[in-house]
C-alpha cells in the first residue's frame, strides 16, 4: 500500500508540473518536528464569503465564450486552451454538483494531535491525515486512496478515486487563527477543466457537552453527568 | 478445575518415579504487531486488540490442555521460563476476529523442540488449540517414561542450579549443539534438595496465583471479545455485500455523469464510514478492557516483585547454607 500511495503522490506531483489551472502542490509530503499548523477546533461556515457554484460555473463558461469569440475574430492566433465541448460542459457541471454537495456541511470539527489530523463532517466520512515521523500515511482500499501533505502552512488532502476522479482539499488558516479557508478542486477524466470551490469558515466555541460519554462494546455509548468509567 | 491444578502442582513438586505428567508453562503470546505502522492497515492489525489477545488466548490454550486431562499443572506465565518441564510460546500471526493464525512452539527442559508450527482456524478458537494439544499429546505419547521422568528431573535440576549454582550445576550439562542433558541426580535425602522443594512449592503457589489472574482476565474479556468477533464477522460480510452492490451500480452510469461521480464517491464514502465505525468499536473494546488489564498488570507486577525479592533472599540463604554444609567456610 505504501508503494501505491507514494506512486500516487509522485503522479500528483508530476500532474502539478504539467496541468493548467489549480496546482496540486505535493512538494512537501513530509515535515520535521511539530506539525506546521494546529487546525483543531470547531469551524462553522461563513456564508458571507466563498464561491457560489452557479457563479463559478458561469464565469468558467463566460471565459470560454470570450475565448471562442476571440478565436473567431482573430483566426490563426495562439490558442490558450482548447474550447469546451458540450460533453466537457456536462462533465464540468457534474463535477461542480459533486463538489457543491460534498462541501455542503456547515460545521467542520477538527481534532489534531502530534501525528493525526481528523476533519469530521456531518453525514460524510472524516478526512483523516496521519503522519509518522513526519511522513504521510495514507489510507487505501479498493474504492480509493486518501493521502495528505503539507504545502507550507496549508494542509492538503488528496482523494484519488477510481475512474480518474480526484478531489483535493487545501486547508489554510488565517494568521490570527480565527478563519479557515478550504479550497476544493475536483478533476475528472471526462473533462479537461477542473472545478474549484472556495469555502470559508469561522472558528466558534462549541458548547460543552453536558454529558461525559465513552464508547463500550457491550453497552455501546455510556454517558453520565459525572466521570465515566467502564 | 482449580483444585485439580493445585493438586497437580503439589504432586509435581517431586520427581516422579512412575509415568510423568509434565507440568506445562504457557508464556503470554507475542502480539505480532509489526513496528512499521504503515503495515497495520494492510495486514488488518489492530494493535490494542492484539495486546489483549496476547494475554487472553494463552488461557484458551491452557483450558484445552487442562481439559485433555493428562498433563500436570498447566500455568499461564508472564514470561518464558526455559527451565520449565514443557514451555509453550506463541505469536499471533493473524487475527481479525474471523480468522486466527497462531505460531506455536513447545520446547521441553532439555531444549528439545516438540512442535514449531502455525495453526489456523476460521471457526472456534478452541478447535485450533485442541488440534495443537492433540499434536502435543502425540509427541508426548511417543516418549517413554524414562525420557519423560528425565525431563521432569532435568527441569528440577536446572531450577535448583538457578537457586544454588554451586550445589546443582554439575547435575546436568549444556550440550555444545544447544540444549541440556541430565548427568545424575542428588541423593534422595539430600537436605539442600528438600530446601529447594520448599522454595519451589512457594514459588508454585505464587505462579498459580498469577495464573489465576489470567483466568479472571479470560472471564472478564470473553463476552466482550465475542461481541468483537461477531462484529468482525458482520464487517467481513458487509464488505462482500458492498463490493457486489457497487459492481452492479457502477456499471449503469454514463462516464463523467453526475451519477457516475456520485457513485464512485459514495462507494469510497461508505467504505470509510464503515472503517471509521470499526475504529469506534476498537476504542469501545479498549475502553472496556483496558482497566481490567491495568488491574491485572498491577497485581502480577506485585506478585512478580514479591517472588523476585524472595528469590534473591532464598538464593543468598541457600548459598550460605551450602557453603556451611560443604565446609567451604
Helix (H) or strand (E) holding B328: none
| B258/A94 touch (CB, cutoff 8 Å), yes or no | yes
- Which of B34, B35, B281, B284 is best to mutate for the A interface (most A CBs within 10 A)? B284
Pairing relationship of beta strands B86-95 and B24-27 according to DSSP bridges: parallel
Which residues in chain B touch residue A126, judged by CB atoms under 8 angstroms apart?
272, 276
| Interface contact A217-B281, CB threshold 8 A | yes
Say if B261 falls within a structural domain: no
Size of chain B, expressed as the number of residues it contains = 329
Using a cut of 0.95, tell me whether the model's pTM lies above it. no
DSSP assignment of B157-219 equals HHHHHHH-HHHHTTSEEE-TTSSEEE-----TT-HHHHHHHHHHHHHHHHHHHHHHHHHHHHH
Q: What is the pLDDT of residue A81?
A: 60
Q: Would the CB atoms of B41 and A1 count as touching at under 8 Å?
A: yes
The set of residues, in sequence order, having a beta carbon less than 8 Å from that of A158 and lying 6+ positions away, is: A8, A9, A12, A24, A26, A146, A147, A148, A149, A166, A167, A168
Contact B256 A188 (CB under 8 A): yes
Asked if B288's CB is within 8 angstroms of A230's CB, the reply is: yes
DSSP state of B95: E
Number of H helices, E strands in chain B: 8, 7
Strand ranges inside A85-226, DSSP E: 107-112, 116-121, 127-132, 135-137, 139-141, 144-151, 154-161, 165-173, 179-187, 195-204, 212-215, 221-224
For residues B118 and B125, the answer to whether their CB atoms sit within 8 Å is no
Best A87, A143, A223 member to test B by mutation, with max B CBs in 10 Å, is: A143
**How many Cβ atoms sit within 10 Å of the Cβ of residue B201?**
13
Distances (CA, A) of A83 to A69, A193, B215: 11, 10, 74
Q: Which of B100, B90, B96, B89 is nearest to B127 (CA)?
A: B100
Tell if the CB–CB gap between B272 and A91 is shorter than 8 Å: no
In-domain check, residue B248: no
Residue B98, pLDDT score:
82
ipTM above 0.90, yes or no: no
Which residues of B sit within 8 Å Cβ distance of A?
A: 37-38, 41-42, 223-224, 227-228, 231, 243, 246, 255-258, 260-262, 264-265, 267-273, 275-276, 280-281, 283-285, 287-288, 290-291
Cβ contact, residue pair A2, B38, below 8 Å: yes
Q: Which residues of B touch A142 (CB under 8 A)?
A: 243, 271
The confidence score (pLDDT) of residue B250 equals 58
B275: in domain: no
Task: Tell me which of B246, B268, B269, B289 to substitute to probe the interface with A (most A C-beta atoms closer than 10 Å).
Answer: B268
Contact between chains at A140 and B41 (C-beta distance less than 8 A): yes
Q: What is the pLDDT along chain A (230 residues), one digit of tens a residue?
A: 455 555 554 544 444 433 333 334 444 456 677 889 999 999 999 999 988 888 888 888 888 888 777 777 766 666 556 667 778 889 999 999 999 999 999 999 999 998 899 999 988 999 998 888 778 888 888 899 999 999 999 999 999 999 899 999 999 999 999 999 999 999 999 888 899 999 999 999 988 888 888 888 887 788 888 776 66
Contact assignment for B260 to A159 by CB distance below 8 Å: no
Beta-carbon separation of B264 and A1 below 8 A? no
The secondary element (H helix, E strand) that includes residue B37 is none
Q: Do A190 and B256 touch (CB under 8 A)?
A: yes
| DSSP one-letter code for A230 | -
B-chain residue closest to A94, CA distance: B258
**CA–CA separation, B21 and B175 (whole Å):** 25
The shortest C-alpha distance from B118 to chain A (Å) reads 26
- Domain range for B159: 2-188
Across the interface, whether the CB atoms of A132 and B268 are under 8 A apart is answered no
DSSP H helix total and E strand total for chain A: 3, 13
Tell whether B257 is covered by a domain: no
Nearest alpha-carbon partner for A158 in A47, A5, A50, A18:
A5
**Residue B52, min C-alpha distance to chain A (Å):** 14
Per-residue pLDDT of chain B (329 residues; tens, 9 = 90+): 444 444 444 444 444 444 578 999 999 999 999 887 767 776 777 888 888 899 989 999 999 999 999 999 999 998 898 999 999 999 999 988 888 999 999 999 999 999 999 999 998 899 999 999 999 999 999 999 999 999 999 999 999 999 899 999 999 999 999 999 999 999 988 999 999 998 888 888 888 888 888 888 888 888 888 888 888 888 888 888 888 877 766 557 788 899 999 999 999 999 999 989 888 888 888 888 888 888 888 888 887 787 778 777 878 888 888 788 776 54
* Four-residue CA torsion sign, A39, A42, A47, A51: positive
- Show residues of chain A in contact with B228, CB under 8 Å: 217
Interface test with chain A among B38, B250, B251, B262, by most A beta carbons within 10 Å:
B38
Number of domains observed in the structure of chain B: 1
For each of the domains in chain A, give its residue range(s) and CATH number, in order of start. 2-224 (2.40.128.20)
Asked whether the beta carbons of residue B258 and residue A98 sit closer than 8 angstroms, the reply is: yes
CB contacts of A230 in chain B (<8 Å) are 287-288, 290-291
Q: Residue B231: its chain A contacts at CB < 8 A?
A: 217
Residue B302: inside a domain, yes or no?
A: no
Looking at the domain assignment, is residue B34 inside a domain? yes
List the single residue in A2, A159, A230 with the smallest CB-CB distance to B291. Answer: A230
User: Is the Cβ pair A137, B37 closer than 8 Å?
Assistant: yes
pLDDT at B301: 82
Closest C-alpha to A102, from B316, B195, B265, B240: B265
Give residue A27's pLDDT.
45
Amino acid at each position: 500500500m505504501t508503494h501505491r500511495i507514494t506512486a500516487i503522490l509522485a503522479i500528483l506531483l508530476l500532474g502539478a508540473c504539467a496541468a493548467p489551472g489549480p496546482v496540486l502542490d505535493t512538494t512537501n509530503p513530509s515535515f520535521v518536528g511539530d506539525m506546521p499548523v494546529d487546525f483543531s477546533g470547531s469551524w462553522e461556515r461563513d456564508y458571507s464569503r466563498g464561491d457560489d457554484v452557479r457563479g463559478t460555473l458561469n464565469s468558467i463558461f463566460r471565459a470560454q465564450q470570450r475565448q471562442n469569440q476571440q478565436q473567431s475574430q482573430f483566426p490563426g492566433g495562439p490558442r490558450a486552451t482548447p474550447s469546451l465541448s458540450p460533453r466537457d460542459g456536462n462533465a464540468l457541471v457534474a463535477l461542480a454538483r459533486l463538489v457543491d454537495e460534498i462541501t455542503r456541511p456547515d460545521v467542520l470539527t477538527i481534532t489534531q494531535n502530534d501525528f493525526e489530523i481528523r476533519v469530521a463532517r456531518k453525514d460524510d466520512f472524516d478526512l483523516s491525515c496521519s503522519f509518522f515521523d513526519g511522513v504521510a500515511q495514507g489510507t487505501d482500499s479498493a474504492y480509493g486512496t486518501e493521502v495528505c501533505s503539507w504545502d507550507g502552512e496549508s494542509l492538503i488532502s488528496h482523494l484519488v478515486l477510481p475512474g480518474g476522479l480526484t478531489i483535493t482539499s487545501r486547508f489554510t488558516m488565517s494568521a490570527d487563527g480565527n478563519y479557515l479557508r478550504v479550497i476544493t478542486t475536483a478533476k475528472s477524466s471526462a473533462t479537461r477543466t477542473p472545478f474549484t470551490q472556495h469555502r470559508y469558515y469561522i472558528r466558534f466555541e462549541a458548547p460543552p457537552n453536558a454529558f461525559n460519554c465513552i464508547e463500550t462494546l457491550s453497552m455501546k455509548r455510556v454517558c453520565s453527568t459525572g466521570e465515566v468509567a467502564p | 478445575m482449580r483444585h485439580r491444578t493445585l493438586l497437580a502442582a503439589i504432586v509435581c513438586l517431586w520427581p516422579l518415579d512412575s509415568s510423568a505428567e509434565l507440568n506445562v508453562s504457557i508464556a503470554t503470546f507475542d502480539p505480532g504487531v509489526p513496528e512499521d505502522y504503515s503495515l497495520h492497515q494492510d495486514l488488518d492489525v489492530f494493535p490494542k486488540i492484539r495486546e489483549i489477545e496476547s494475554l487472553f488466548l494463552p488461557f484458551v490454550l491452557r483450558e484445552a490442555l487442562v481439559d485433555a486431562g493428562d498433563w500436570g499443572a498447566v500455568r499461564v506465565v508472564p514470561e518464558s521460563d526455559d527451565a520449565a518441564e514443557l514451555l509453550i510460546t506463541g505469536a499471533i500471526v493473524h487475527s481479525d476476529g474471523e480468522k486466527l493464525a497462531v505460531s506455536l512452539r513447545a520446547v521441553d527442559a532439555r531444549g528439545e523442540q516438540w512442535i514449531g508450527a502455525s495453526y489456523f482456524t476460521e471457526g472456534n478458537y478452541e478447535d485450533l488449540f485442541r488440534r495443537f494439544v492433540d499434536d502435543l499429546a502425540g509427541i508426548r505419547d511417543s516418549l517413554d517414561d524414562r525420557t519423560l521422568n528425565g525431563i521432569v528431573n532435568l527441569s528440577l535440576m536446572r531450577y535448583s542450579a538457578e537457586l544454588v549454582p554451586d550445589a546443582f550445576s554439575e547435575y546436568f550439562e549444556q550440550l555444545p549443539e544447544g540444549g541440556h542433558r541430565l548427568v545424575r541426580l542428588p541423593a534422595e535425602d539430600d537436605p539442600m534438595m528438600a530446601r529447594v522443594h520448599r522454595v519451589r512449592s512457594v514459588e508454585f503457589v505464587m505462579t498459580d496465583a498469577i495464573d489465576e489472574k489470567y483466568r479472571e482476565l479470560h472471564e472478564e474479556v470473553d463476552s466482550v471479545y465475542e461481541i468483537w468477533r461477531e462484529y468482525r464477522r458482520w464487517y467481513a460480510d458487509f464488505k462482500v455485500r458492498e463490493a457486489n452492490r457497487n459492481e452492479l451500480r457502477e456499471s449503469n452510469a454514463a462516464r463523467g455523469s453526475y451519477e457516475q461521480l456520485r457513485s464512485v464517491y459514495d462507494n469510497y464514502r461508505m467504505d470509510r464510514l464503515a472503517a471509521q465505525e470499526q475504529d469506534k468499536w476498537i476504542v469501545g473494546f479498549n475502553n472496556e478492557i483496558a482497566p481490567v488489564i491495568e488491574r491485572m498488570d498491577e497485581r502480577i507486577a506485585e506478585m512478580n516483585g514479591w517472588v523476585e525479592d524472595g528469590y534473591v533472599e532464598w538464593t543468598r540463604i541457600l548459598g550460605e547454607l551450602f557453603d556451611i554444609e560443604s565446609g567451604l567456610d
